Structure 1
Amino acid sequence: MTTDDRGSERARSFGAVAAAYDAGRPTFPAEALRWLLGPGRLQILDLGAGTGKLSAVAAALGHDVVAVDPAEEMLAVCRQVPGVDTMVGAAESIPLAHGSVDAVLVGQAFHWFDHARALPEIARVLRPHGVLGLLWNKYDTVVPWVRRLHRAMIGEDFLAGSDQFDPMPVLLQSDLFAQVETGRFRHWHDLDRGSLRQLALSHSRVAVLTESRRESVLEQVDAIYDGTARPPEPLRMPYFTDCYRTRPSDLANYQRTLDAPVAPPL
């Protein structure tokens, strides 16, 4: 199996673990969305929305949100989030009109996109002066038990950075987006023994393992919880949320006017 095949298999695995993803994954800090979006009520596309973790925060801040994801299983969970509309679709073929949203947010998903196809689509649906915001929740592996947990779930190669993705080269090489700004926000996610297991199961690397290897990972995760947690207090997982903010370039705005008029507000 090639590296690309393994990546495709991991990307497809998320639909099968939608419940685990929703139970185990953290939300995103509201401060990060305020930094990305600024004031005012906006029409937002949450692209690669999954179970709606990011959509829920945006809707709670008063924005109008449509969540798009290729996995119907993920969207079935997302539909339970108040104030969020959902559509099945992919980043490479977004089911929205030209210039129809003020912002496109991508939480924990941009690295799965075919960027050569997705970036023109994102630029197409953004209004002039719209915002593209990318977010990743990352474990604070300076904490020893978090480092052990990450190694158990992701594997030894994470220490060499092979599981990390830097969107800056992709954005800077595109002529469709302008200057990129970055921000980092600290937050915590409270877990019990069961939800820590769900967090492990939600990782694509774990989801595609054989049953025996997956059970071995879960046994390691249980051991880390038992050696670290102090019930009934929750186990507080420390995260950093890394954010990237950019806007369509003049070229992207010009191309959009050639393709079609900007859509009216939804």
Structure 2
Amino acid sequence: MTTNDPAGDPAAARGNAARARSFGAVAAAYDAGRPTFPSEALTWILGPGRGLQVLDLGAGTGKLAAVAAELGHHVIAVDPSPEMLEVCRRRQGIDTMVGAAESIPLAHGSVDAVIVGQAFHWFDHARALPEIARVLRPNGVLGLLWNDADTVVPWVRRISQVMQGDCQTVTHSGGGDRFEPMPILEGSNLFWMIEQARFRHWQDLDRKGLRQLALSHSAVAILKETRREQVLEQIDQIYEHTARPPEPLRMPYLTDCFRAHPSEFANYRRTLDSPVAPHL
């Protein structure tokens, strides 16, 4: 894993911001093409119980929020994209709010957990981490998750290379330079007891699903139409040479997870700013 923080490079930060904004335009493809997250991973982060107040930050279309709701938790999904949240609202048991990680529209100490699926690398960490620590309760937990296609498999590696194209140096991508949150969490002094785990799962895809998966990646979404169609044609060719219909194409994923808890410093800062909100 790499240890670069995009927020430290203004040019990289601007590029990341443009790519992050591209997701709203492909919300339907994102929801149809992206994999869910394994429930085992979220249970590792949240624990085996039920009924926690959980904030899914950078929730997108609610892939991760849906897993948390299915596990019996009360979920608020926050995302800056109204288009992504419009898809998220179709899911059961999830409240939604437009908002950003750098300015979370919730009260101090109002949630038991903050979970972030496939989005932490887009945040301005210098601003987002104090906000996350602010809304967490003293014994709360921060969980970060990333699904990465397992590019040890040759055809998966070819798909990843085609989707990345000229963007091989992206901050975080399946099979590319993976984002490393540990130094950022440790350097903030706001989180401690940082742990890491990995889970394996699979996503079944047909030809259309594989196309939608490609369209949901920012490196493809930002391409001009002619170039984007060329990429999708290459994706179709890989499907033709790999799939064995009527059996689905099984895309293997590795889910990297990180969990951390607010430090004593974070809890002290929160009490100075405002009293902790009561349980709902």
Could you say whether these structures have the same fold, taking a TM-score greater than 0.5 normalized by the shorter chain as the test?
A: yes
Partner of 1:197: 211
Confirm whether residue 260 of structure 1 aligns to residue 269 of structure 2.
no
Q: Residue 142 of structure 2 corresponds to which residue in structure 1?
A: 132
Q: CA deviation at 1:158?
A: 5.7
Alignment partner, residue 145 of structure 1 = 155
How far, CA to CA, are the matches of 1:115 and 1:2 in structure 2?
Answer: 16
Q: Distance in 2 between matches of 1:253 and 1:69?
A: 25
- C-alpha separation in 2, matches of 1:183 and 1:3: 28
Matched, 1:64 2:81: no
TM-score by length of 1: 0.97
Equivalent in the alignment of 1:237: 251
Which of 12, 15, 24 is matched with 2:33 structurally?
24
Corresponding residue to 2:197 among 162, 168, 183: 183
* Structure 2 residue aligned with 1:155: 165
Identity of aligned residues (%): 73
Q: Which residue of 2 aligns with 1:3?
A: 12
Amino acid of the structure 2 residue aligned with 1:188:
W
Partner of 2:91: 81
Structure 1 residue 25: Cα displacement: 0.0
Task: Select between 38-47 and 27-36 the one with higher mean Cα deviation.
Answer: 38-47
Distance in 1, Cα, partners of 2:220 & 2:44:
33
Q: Secondary structure at the match of 1:73?
A: helix
Alpha-carbon distance change, 114 to 2 in structure 1, aligned in 2, over 3 angstroms = closer
State the AA in 2 paired with 1:25.
Answer: R
Q: Partner residue of 1:97?
A: 107
The structural deviation recorded for 1:39 is 2.4
SS of the residue 2:55 aligns to = strand
Amino acid at match of 1:24: G
Residue 130 (structure 2) pairs with residue 120 (structure 1): yes
Q: Which runs of 4+ in 1 moved over 3 A?
A: 1-4, 158-163
Query: 1:211-236: CA deviations, max 9, x gaps?
Result: 11101100110000011001111100
Q: Distance in 2 between matches of 1:170 and 1:4?
A: 15
Instruction: Report the 3-state secondary structure (helix = DSSP H, G, I; strand = E; otherwise coil) of the residue aligned with 1:85.
Output: strand
SS in 1 for 2:191: coil
**Cα shift readout 1:5-59 (whole Å, capped 9, x = no counterpart):** 3222101100000000000000000000110011222110000000000000000
- CA–CA distance in 1 between the matches of 2:67 and 2:204? 17
Gaps of 5+ in 2: 1-9
Go from structure 1 to structure 2 and tell me whether the alpha carbon gap of 1:251 and 1:3 turns closer, same or farther (over 3 Å shift).
closer
Distance apart, 1:3 and its partner CA: 3.4
Shift of 1:172: 1.3
Give the whole-Å Cα distance in 2 for the aligned partners of 1:19 and 1:159: 23
Preserved contact between residue 158 and residue 164 of structure 1 (Cα < 8 Å): no
Q: Contact 1:21–1:51 at 8 Å: present in 2 too?
A: yes
Q: 1:151–1:158: 8 Å Cα contact kept in structure 2?
A: no
Q: 184, 188, 205: which one pairs with 1:170?
A: 184
Counterpart of 1:199 in structure 2: which amino acid? L
| Aligned length in residues | 266
Question: Unpaired runs of 5+ in structure 1?
Answer: none
